[in-house]
Structure 1
Amino acid sequence: MNAPNLTQRAPRSPRVRLGGYTILPRMLDKARATLAGTNGEYVYDTPNDGHFFRFTGIQPEALLEQVKRGAGDWEVLAWVREKAPLQRTPLEINQWSDWTETVSFNDVEMREWFTEQIKRLNPAREDLRGTFDYLDLDDFVSFGGVA
Protein backbone atom coordinates (compact mmCIF):
# COMPACT_ATOMS: atom_id res chain seq x y z
CA MET A 1 0.00 0.00 0.00
CA ASN A 2 1.32 3.40 -0.97
CA ALA A 3 0.27 5.54 2.01
CA PRO A 4 0.78 9.30 2.10
CA ASN A 5 2.49 10.76 5.14
CA LEU A 6 -0.06 13.28 6.34
CA THR A 7 2.35 14.62 8.92
CA GLN A 8 4.31 16.06 5.97
CA ARG A 9 1.58 17.06 3.54
CA ALA A 10 -2.18 17.41 3.46
CA PRO A 11 -4.51 14.86 1.90
CA ARG A 12 -6.08 15.78 -1.41
CA SER A 13 -8.64 18.55 -1.44
CA PRO A 14 -12.21 17.43 -0.82
CA ARG A 15 -12.98 18.99 -4.21
CA VAL A 16 -10.85 16.44 -6.10
CA ARG A 17 -13.10 13.89 -7.78
CA LEU A 18 -12.75 10.20 -8.48
CA GLY A 19 -15.43 8.70 -10.70
CA GLY A 20 -17.32 11.94 -10.21
CA TYR A 21 -17.31 11.67 -6.41
CA THR A 22 -15.92 14.50 -4.31
CA ILE A 23 -14.59 13.57 -0.86
CA LEU A 24 -13.54 10.04 -1.94
CA PRO A 25 -9.90 10.80 -2.93
CA ARG A 26 -9.31 12.74 0.31
CA MET A 27 -10.91 9.95 2.30
CA LEU A 28 -8.67 7.37 0.61
CA ASP A 29 -5.58 9.40 1.53
CA LYS A 30 -6.74 9.51 5.15
CA ALA A 31 -7.60 5.80 5.17
CA ARG A 32 -4.21 4.78 3.79
CA ALA A 33 -2.37 7.06 6.19
CA THR A 34 -4.43 5.80 9.13
CA LEU A 35 -3.57 2.20 8.30
CA ALA A 36 0.12 3.13 7.98
CA GLY A 37 0.14 5.23 11.14
CA THR A 38 1.07 8.39 9.21
CA ASN A 39 -2.25 10.22 9.47
CA GLY A 40 -1.07 12.87 11.95
CA GLU A 41 -4.08 14.98 12.91
CA TYR A 42 -6.19 13.75 9.99
CA VAL A 43 -9.05 11.40 10.84
CA TYR A 44 -10.75 8.80 8.68
CA ASP A 45 -14.56 8.67 8.86
CA THR A 46 -15.31 12.28 9.80
CA PRO A 47 -18.74 13.91 9.47
CA ASN A 48 -17.62 15.19 6.06
CA ASP A 49 -16.71 11.63 5.01
CA GLY A 50 -20.16 10.64 6.22
CA HIS A 51 -21.72 12.48 3.28
CA PHE A 52 -20.09 9.93 0.96
CA PHE A 53 -21.07 6.97 3.11
CA ARG A 54 -24.72 8.06 3.35
CA PHE A 55 -24.91 8.79 -0.39
CA THR A 56 -23.48 5.42 -1.44
CA GLY A 57 -24.64 3.23 1.44
CA ILE A 58 -21.05 1.97 1.82
CA GLN A 59 -19.95 1.28 5.39
CA PRO A 60 -16.74 3.01 6.55
CA GLU A 61 -15.27 -0.31 7.77
CA ALA A 62 -15.91 -1.99 4.40
CA LEU A 63 -14.13 0.78 2.50
CA LEU A 64 -11.24 0.68 4.95
CA GLU A 65 -10.97 -3.08 4.38
CA GLN A 66 -10.62 -2.53 0.62
CA VAL A 67 -7.89 0.02 1.22
CA LYS A 68 -6.17 -2.37 3.65
CA ARG A 69 -6.00 -4.95 0.83
CA GLY A 70 -3.84 -2.51 -1.13
CA ALA A 71 -6.46 -1.39 -3.63
CA GLY A 72 -5.52 1.69 -5.63
CA ASP A 73 -7.92 4.54 -6.30
CA TRP A 74 -9.29 3.01 -9.49
CA GLU A 75 -9.78 -0.38 -7.84
CA VAL A 76 -11.61 1.21 -4.92
CA LEU A 77 -13.84 3.12 -7.33
CA ALA A 78 -14.66 -0.11 -9.20
CA TRP A 79 -15.48 -1.75 -5.86
CA VAL A 80 -17.74 1.18 -4.86
CA ARG A 81 -19.54 0.98 -8.21
CA GLU A 82 -20.09 -2.74 -7.77
CA LYS A 83 -20.86 -2.96 -4.04
CA ALA A 84 -22.60 0.28 -3.11
CA PRO A 85 -26.06 -0.56 -1.78
CA LEU A 86 -27.33 2.73 -3.21
CA GLN A 87 -26.46 2.59 -6.90
CA ARG A 88 -26.31 6.08 -8.37
CA THR A 89 -26.34 7.32 -11.94
CA PRO A 90 -23.54 9.55 -13.23
CA LEU A 91 -25.99 12.48 -13.16
CA GLU A 92 -26.88 11.82 -9.51
CA ILE A 93 -23.18 11.55 -8.60
CA ASN A 94 -22.42 14.81 -10.37
CA GLN A 95 -25.33 16.61 -8.69
CA TRP A 96 -24.36 15.24 -5.29
CA SER A 97 -20.73 16.26 -5.79
CA ASP A 98 -21.78 19.74 -6.84
CA TRP A 99 -23.92 19.93 -3.69
CA THR A 100 -21.06 18.81 -1.43
CA GLU A 101 -19.01 21.75 -2.65
CA THR A 102 -21.64 24.10 -1.23
CA VAL A 103 -22.26 22.41 2.13
CA SER A 104 -21.87 24.72 5.07
CA PHE A 105 -22.23 24.36 8.79
CA ASN A 106 -25.95 24.32 9.53
CA ASP A 107 -26.41 24.19 13.27
CA VAL A 108 -25.60 27.10 15.58
CA GLU A 109 -22.81 25.29 17.42
CA MET A 110 -21.02 24.37 14.20
CA ARG A 111 -21.45 27.87 12.75
CA GLU A 112 -19.88 29.30 15.89
CA TRP A 113 -17.01 26.80 15.60
CA PHE A 114 -16.56 27.73 11.91
CA THR A 115 -16.45 31.43 12.78
CA GLU A 116 -13.78 30.79 15.41
CA GLN A 117 -11.72 28.81 12.90
CA ILE A 118 -11.89 31.62 10.35
CA LYS A 119 -10.78 34.08 13.04
CA ARG A 120 -7.87 31.76 13.81
CA LEU A 121 -6.85 31.39 10.17
CA ASN A 122 -7.43 34.97 8.99
CA PRO A 123 -10.25 37.12 10.37
CA ALA A 124 -10.16 39.36 7.29
CA ARG A 125 -11.24 36.52 4.99
CA GLU A 126 -14.81 37.05 3.83
CA ASP A 127 -14.72 34.55 0.99
CA LEU A 128 -14.92 31.38 3.09
CA ARG A 129 -18.40 29.92 2.99
CA GLY A 130 -18.44 26.19 3.48
CA THR A 131 -16.78 23.04 4.63
CA PHE A 132 -14.54 22.61 1.58
CA ASP A 133 -13.35 26.23 1.78
CA TYR A 134 -12.39 25.69 5.40
CA LEU A 135 -10.66 22.35 4.79
CA ASP A 136 -8.62 23.67 1.87
CA LEU A 137 -7.48 26.73 3.80
CA ASP A 138 -6.77 24.82 7.00
CA ASP A 139 -4.68 22.28 5.06
CA PHE A 140 -2.75 25.09 3.40
CA VAL A 141 -2.03 26.90 6.68
CA SER A 142 -1.19 23.66 8.50
CA PHE A 143 1.77 23.15 6.18
CA GLY A 144 3.19 26.65 6.25
CA GLY A 145 0.91 28.66 4.02
CA VAL A 146 -0.36 32.09 4.94
CA ALA A 147 -4.11 32.56 4.92
Structure 2
Amino acid sequence: MTLGGYVHLARMIDKCRAVLAGTEGEYIYPCPLDKRLMEFAGVTAEQFTEAVTASRTDEEMIAWFQRTATPRPQSEVDQWNRALLLRGPSSTDSQKRFDAYRDAVDPSRTDLTSWADLQDLEEGRDVPCRQAANSDRETY
Protein backbone atom coordinates (compact mmCIF):
# COMPACT_ATOMS: atom_id res chain seq x y z
CA MET A 1 0.00 0.00 0.00
CA THR A 2 1.24 3.47 -0.79
CA LEU A 3 0.26 6.85 0.57
CA GLY A 4 1.19 9.87 -1.46
CA GLY A 5 3.05 7.51 -3.80
CA TYR A 6 5.40 6.11 -1.13
CA VAL A 7 5.32 2.74 0.58
CA HIS A 8 5.82 2.99 4.33
CA LEU A 9 4.65 6.62 4.56
CA ALA A 10 1.29 5.73 6.15
CA ARG A 11 2.96 3.49 8.71
CA MET A 12 5.56 6.14 9.51
CA ILE A 13 2.85 8.78 10.06
CA ASP A 14 0.87 6.43 12.31
CA LYS A 15 3.94 5.51 14.36
CA CYS A 16 4.93 9.15 14.78
CA ARG A 17 1.39 9.99 15.92
CA ALA A 18 1.50 7.12 18.40
CA VAL A 19 4.84 8.32 19.81
CA LEU A 20 3.47 11.85 20.16
CA ALA A 21 0.39 10.46 21.96
CA GLY A 22 2.47 8.14 24.14
CA THR A 23 0.68 5.07 22.76
CA GLU A 24 3.43 3.53 20.61
CA GLY A 25 3.74 0.31 22.60
CA GLU A 26 6.41 -1.83 20.93
CA TYR A 27 6.61 0.33 17.80
CA ILE A 28 9.79 2.31 17.23
CA TYR A 29 9.86 5.71 15.56
CA PRO A 30 12.07 6.50 13.82
CA CYS A 31 13.07 2.94 13.01
CA PRO A 32 15.59 2.00 10.31
CA LEU A 33 12.84 1.79 7.64
CA ASP A 34 11.56 5.23 8.66
CA LYS A 35 15.09 6.59 8.36
CA ARG A 36 15.46 5.08 4.88
CA LEU A 37 12.29 6.81 3.68
CA MET A 38 13.31 10.10 5.27
CA GLU A 39 16.77 9.88 3.74
CA PHE A 40 15.32 9.16 0.30
CA ALA A 41 12.88 12.05 0.69
CA GLY A 42 15.51 14.43 2.05
CA VAL A 43 13.69 15.17 5.31
CA THR A 44 14.81 14.76 8.90
CA ALA A 45 12.98 13.03 11.71
CA GLU A 46 12.66 16.41 13.42
CA GLN A 47 11.02 17.97 10.33
CA PHE A 48 8.71 14.99 9.92
CA THR A 49 7.70 15.01 13.58
CA GLU A 50 6.98 18.74 13.42
CA ALA A 51 4.82 18.20 10.35
CA VAL A 52 2.88 15.38 12.01
CA THR A 53 2.39 17.57 15.07
CA ALA A 54 0.98 20.37 12.90
CA SER A 55 -1.12 18.14 10.61
CA ARG A 56 -4.47 16.77 11.59
CA THR A 57 -5.12 14.53 8.59
CA ASP A 58 -3.28 12.16 6.30
CA GLU A 59 -4.14 14.48 3.41
CA GLU A 60 -2.29 17.35 5.12
CA MET A 61 0.70 15.07 5.68
CA ILE A 62 0.67 13.93 2.05
CA ALA A 63 0.63 17.54 0.90
CA TRP A 64 3.48 18.44 3.26
CA PHE A 65 5.53 15.41 2.25
CA GLN A 66 5.09 16.04 -1.47
CA ARG A 67 6.02 19.73 -1.02
CA THR A 68 9.03 18.97 1.14
CA ALA A 69 10.46 15.75 -0.31
CA THR A 70 13.27 15.90 -2.83
CA PRO A 71 11.55 15.93 -6.24
CA ARG A 72 12.14 12.69 -8.12
CA PRO A 73 10.77 11.13 -11.30
CA GLN A 74 7.96 8.66 -10.61
CA SER A 75 10.10 5.85 -12.02
CA GLU A 76 12.74 6.51 -9.34
CA VAL A 77 10.10 6.56 -6.58
CA ASP A 78 8.64 3.30 -7.94
CA GLN A 79 12.10 1.70 -7.96
CA TRP A 80 12.74 2.87 -4.40
CA ASN A 81 9.35 1.52 -3.28
CA ARG A 82 10.13 -1.90 -4.78
CA ALA A 83 13.57 -1.94 -3.16
CA LEU A 84 12.15 -1.12 0.28
CA LEU A 85 9.54 -3.87 -0.02
CA LEU A 86 12.25 -6.39 -0.96
CA ARG A 87 14.82 -5.26 1.59
CA GLY A 88 15.98 -8.00 3.92
CA PRO A 89 18.57 -8.28 6.67
CA SER A 90 21.92 -6.85 5.62
CA SER A 91 24.25 -8.36 8.22
CA THR A 92 24.61 -11.44 10.37
CA ASP A 93 23.29 -9.56 13.42
CA SER A 94 20.38 -8.20 11.40
CA GLN A 95 19.57 -11.73 10.17
CA LYS A 96 19.59 -13.00 13.76
CA ARG A 97 17.11 -10.26 14.80
CA PHE A 98 14.96 -11.01 11.76
CA ASP A 99 14.91 -14.74 12.54
CA ALA A 100 14.07 -14.11 16.20
CA TYR A 101 11.16 -11.79 15.30
CA ARG A 102 9.90 -14.25 12.68
CA ASP A 103 10.21 -17.23 15.00
CA ALA A 104 8.26 -15.40 17.70
CA VAL A 105 5.38 -14.90 15.26
CA ASP A 106 5.52 -18.02 13.09
CA PRO A 107 8.68 -20.14 13.00
CA SER A 108 7.33 -22.12 10.05
CA ARG A 109 7.64 -19.07 7.75
CA THR A 110 11.27 -19.60 6.84
CA ASP A 111 10.30 -18.51 3.31
CA LEU A 112 10.16 -14.85 4.39
CA THR A 113 13.20 -12.75 3.60
CA SER A 114 12.00 -9.13 3.65
CA TRP A 115 11.32 -6.83 6.58
CA ALA A 116 8.07 -5.69 4.92
CA ASP A 117 6.75 -9.26 4.79
CA LEU A 118 7.79 -9.80 8.40
CA GLN A 119 5.92 -6.67 9.50
CA ASP A 120 2.82 -7.82 7.63
CA LEU A 121 3.02 -11.27 9.21
CA GLU A 122 3.53 -9.78 12.67
CA GLU A 123 0.49 -7.54 12.25
CA GLY A 124 -1.75 -10.39 11.07
CA ARG A 125 -1.93 -9.55 7.38
CA ASP A 126 -1.89 -12.36 4.84
CA VAL A 127 1.60 -12.91 3.46
CA PRO A 128 1.82 -15.26 0.48
CA CYS A 129 4.37 -18.04 0.67
CA ARG A 130 7.65 -17.09 -0.97
CA GLN A 131 10.29 -19.30 -2.48
CA ALA A 132 13.03 -19.56 0.14
CA ALA A 133 15.77 -18.96 -2.44
CA ASN A 134 14.08 -16.02 -4.16
CA SER A 135 16.87 -14.24 -6.01
CA ASP A 136 14.71 -11.11 -6.36
CA ARG A 137 15.08 -10.35 -2.65
CA GLU A 138 17.63 -7.66 -1.96
CA THR A 139 19.63 -6.83 1.13
CA TYR A 140 20.78 -3.24 1.34
Rounded to whole Å, the distance in 1 between the matches of 2:13 and 2:119 is 16
Query: 2:135 maps to which residue?
Result: none
Quote the offset at 1:60 in angstroms.
Answer: 0.8
Task: Rate the CA distance shift 1:70–1:82 in 2: closer, same or farther, 3 A.
Answer: closer
Query: 2:138 maps to which residue?
Result: none
Query: 1:65 maps to which residue?
Result: 50
Query: 2:107 maps to which residue?
Result: 123
Query: 1:138 maps to which residue?
Result: 122
Rounded to whole Å, the distance in 1 between the matches of 2:23 and 2:48 is 18
Rounded to whole Å, the distance in 2 between the matches of 1:57 and 1:73 is 19
Which one of the candidate residues 93, 109, 113 is aligned to 2:97?
A: 113
Q: Which amino acid aligns with 1:44?
A: Y
1:82 paired with 2:67, answer yes
Determine which structure has greater relative contact order: mean sequence separation of CA pairs < 8 Å that are 6+ residues apart, divided by chain length. 1
RMSD of Structure 2 on Structure 1 (CA): 1.6
| Greater mean deviation of Cα atoms: 126-135 or 114-123 | 114-123
Which 5+ residue runs of structure 1 have no aligned equivalent? Answer: 1-15, 142-147
Rounded to whole Å, the distance in 2 between the matches of 1:37 and 1:90 is 35
Q: Deviations over 1:46-85 (max 9, x none)?
A: 011111011011111111111111342222121122122x
Moved over 3 A (4+): none
Report the count of equivalent residues. Answer: 125
Percent identity, aligned pairs only, is: 34
Contact 2:16 2:29 survives alignment (8 Å): yes
Q: Which amino acid aligns with 1:109?
A: D
TM-score, length-normalised on structure 2?
0.82
